[in-house]
Amino acid sequence: MNLLILDRKKYIPALILCLAVLICMIIVVIFNSSSDSETTLPGTWICLDQPEIQMEIKENLICMNGLTFPYELSLPLVSSPTRQQPQAFVLDAGSMGVMGGLFFFEDNNLYLEIDSQVRIFSRVQS
């Protein structure tokens, strides 16, 4: 019977600690979601070397010149991919199979490597 009676004074420090952790997590999420839009993958991109190659990237889809391919980011997730620490991903290319790739941002451009071919894309301003 004594197990059901809780002394609230014992649990106040733990409650305050949990509340502080929750507030910190909310601040981190807000800070990460307000990052510069130039370093986010979703959007419309055009290849600098071959302007006829245009691509629209959505949450889990890459649409390139009318062809749509699902993709998934590989672990570990990189919050701001750079040349030194690119983000890996896997692209389902249908009949061509599954291909691995890397991407990173440099000078507001997207560097995309798929199947050992690197293309540089610039964001199309909307």
Is residue 88 within 8 A of residue 73, CB to CB? The reply is yes
Which stretches of the chain drop beneath a pLDDT of 50? Answer: 1, 24, 28-38
The Cα 47–Cα 29 span in angstroms is: 32
Residue 116 confidence (pLDDT): 83
Structure tokens at 29: 């999420």
Looking at the DSSP assignment, which residues form a beta bridge with residue 68? 63
Is residue 98 within 8 A of residue 104, CB to CB? The reply is no
Residue 33 confidence (pLDDT): 45
